[in-house]
Homo-oligomer: A and B are copies of this chain.
Amino acid sequence: MSDVQSVVDAAERAYRSGLSRTPAERRGWLESMSHALDAERDELIAIARDETHLAAARLGGELTRTTFQLRFLGAEVVDGTHLEATIDHADPTWGMGPRPDIRSIRRPIGPVAVFGASNFPFAFSVAGGDTASALAAGCTVVHKAHPAHPRLARRTAAILIEALRSAGAPDGTFALLEGEDEGVQLVQHPLIKAVGFTGSTRGGRALFDLATSRPEPIPFFGELGSTNPVFVTRSAWQRRSQEIADGYLASVRLGRGQFCTKPGFIMVPAAVGAPQVIAHAAIDQPDEPGLLLSSRLRDSFEGALDALAATDGVETLLGGPSGDESAPLTLLRVDATTVLENPELLEQEAFGPASVIVEYRDMAELDQLSTLIGGQLTSTVQGEPDDDLGALLPALAERSGRVLWNAWPTGVTVSWAQQHGGPYPATTAAGTSVGAAAISRFQRAVAYQGLPPELLPLGLRDDNPLGIPQRIDGILTLPAKGDDGR
């Protein structure tokens, strides 16, 4: 029996065993994982520094976010809003004919495969959002480790497994697998019911194709790529050029540009010297030295810079391929007319500290640019209250998961409203991998018709023992507050 088979069998058994556990118990598992990771903070950050070349402060912030996320999603398990409990009592006068008693609630879909990303060794890796939300949904997780941080993956997994065991979760609730072949087998295994993935468009699409061509296709929640364009209005540039240049550069440089939400393009008004202002601001704040996550990523980064610079009219203002191990801040410049003639430029993601400054002449060009961008995780407007934005915001909402106003796309908060996912290729399916709504990707609804109260799931009983929101005969109804204020 292969490793994959035994690990998935254990995940299946743990999933079934977990179905009878209470929301409070499940919250306890997530909190136990959170506390166990916090307790090993120094050791984890040290391993991560060694394997990723990321700075300790950056890694510390990411670990804080990761353990917060586990507690946040644990609280959601008990809150129960995501269960969408719905109760329709029998109604002999119903408009289409008598209605039976019918009630529905969301339930977990089964063991889930999660593929970690290299650029977030904590928050989108072993203990990241896909793992946390799948466990919160009631699923079990088999995590395919990213080969860029194997020691960290193994250590994190060992901590999680021990934390789950000590909190009373069934053995097999979480497991780690390594190896590319093993990942492929995992996606094709009949007991695996969904996949969470963060990574490259090419690798993600290949796994997506595997997931959808199975005899039983399964949902593939993949985050593949995004160039996160920023649109600066003429008046915003006139009033805040230095602030915008500094904010943009900070966002491009954060984590050496290795964020899926890094602004890859900024559209600025022409004929005001914006590229020069930005380049000077960059020179005033010299690069901190540092390597990219891996030499493979550095090679892709340099390849992407070459591809961008190969288009006539694209000039390199700063940086460019270094020819050595380093990856300096790289700024390119191009006229909007060139982009409008070569719209495929807008889809070229250079994963690393590079971004393209696009000079537009008028709002017509800005509008055209906004309709040529592909599916995005984020789009941003830097504007002023009195700007006439025309159709800009609707065009961006059409193509993006998150639309920002006078903010920068890097730094993704974990909250109820967060949406980290957008039209293809940003993600392969509707849904978010960050925030409370991430849970529902790993659930589906089941309706129960005519069941006596003692056979119903607790969340669907009239006496609402779980204290969750219920939509009753069409009316959203909040639970009565208990002694503890809930």
The residues of A with any CB-CB pair to B shorter than 8 Å are 19, 61, 64-65, 68-69, 71-72, 79, 81, 84, 86-88, 94-97, 99-100, 102-104, 107, 109, 208-209, 212-213, 216-217, 219, 375, 385, 389, 393-394, 397, 400-407, 413-419, 423-425, 428-430, 432, 437, 443-452, 455, 469, 471, 473-474, 476, 478
Contact = CB atoms under 8 A, between A and B. Distances in A.
Interface centre among A400, A406, A451 (most CB of B within 10 A): A451
B430 A444 contact: yes
B217 A417 contact: no
A382 to B, nearest CB: 11
Contacts of A476: 81, 469, 476, 478
A430 to B, nearest CB: 4
Contacts of A64: 96-97
7 pairs of A and B residues whose beta carbons are closest in the complex: A419-B447, A68-B96, A212-B212, A86-B417, A430-B444, A104-B417, A402-B447
A391 to B, nearest CB: 9
B424 A217 contact: yes
Copies in the complex: 2
Contacts of A450: 404-407
A329 to B, nearest CB: 25
B424 A88 contact: no
Contacts of A103: 417
B437 A217 contact: no
Contacts of A69: 96
Contact of A217 (B68, B428, B469): B428
Contact of A416 (B402, B405, B471): B471
A15 B62 CA distance: 40
Nearest to A87: B417
A74 B188 CA distance: 41
Given A96-B413, A216-B424, A385-B452, 12 more contacts: A79-B474, A208-B212, A212-B217, A216-B375, A216-B423, A217-B424, A389-B455, A404-B448, A405-B448, A405-B455, A419-B446, A476-B478
A81 B469 CA distance: 12
25 contacts: A19-B394, A68-B95, A86-B416, A96-B413, A96-B414, A102-B402, A102-B418, A212-B213, A212-B217, A216-B375, A216-B423, A397-B446, A400-B446, A401-B446, A402-B446, A402-B447, A403-B449, A405-B448, A405-B450, A405-B452, A416-B471, A430-B443, A432-B445, A469-B476, A476-B478
